Amino acid sequence: MNAEHAARNVRLVVLDVDGVLTDGGLYYDSTGGVMKRFNVQDGLGIKMAARAGLEFAVITGLDSPAVAGRVAELGIRHYYPGQHRKAPFLRQISENSGIPLQHAAYIGDDWVDAAPMSLVGLPMAVANARPEILRLAAWTSTARGGQGAVREALEFILEAQGRLESLWREWTQA
């Protein structure tokens, strides 16, 4: 599969959270609450790509108030927490949005991402993904999950679509 060719057709980007949007670590506060660390460059990349017309979804195995807050902050309207079987939800997102799966990208890092990655037009992985996931990916970031990998993936898609330069010009105008 030619990743650049597939990227030209992407209209929907589906993200895993732990290990993709975060570094995969679970941080606990003194009350036992889970905290997550998100990369601000990934967040700006999502907002930038949404401005360019890409739609986003998050399907994650864990249910966390921190993730729900981040998803809301980024304006992502398709959010499915606590889901280890992700493929049915990916199909539902495709159906609800009217975007065919061949026009979707999925960014994953672990075995729970294998099934949805096999359904999309552009399966993508973060640099530190499990070896089996790296083999499924048509494109792999140089950045690790939670360290700008999503931003890198989005810039790859936007560059393939010829949209990155115009977005850059928008951000650099005084």
For residue 120, the enclosing domain spans: 3-173
Asked if pLDDT for residue 95 goes beyond 90, the answer is yes
Asked if pLDDT for residue 118 goes beyond 70, the answer is yes
Is 16 annotated for ligand binding?
yes
Average pLDDT of the chain to the nearest whole number: 95
Q: Is 25 helix (H, G, I), strand (E, B) or coil?
A: coil
pTM higher than 0.75, yes or no? Answer: yes
Q: Which pLDDT score is estimated for 162?
A: 96
Q: Residues 86, 133: contact at Cβ < 8 Å? A: no
Is 42 annotated for ligand binding?
no
Number of domains into which the chain is organized: 1
Q: What is the CATH number of the domain that holds 115?
A: 3.40.50.1000
Asked if pLDDT for residue 29 goes beyond 80, the answer is yes
Quote the tokens at residue 15: 């993200």
DSSP state letters, 29-74: -TTS-EE--B-HHHHHHHHHHHHTT-EEEEE-SS--HHHHHHHHHT
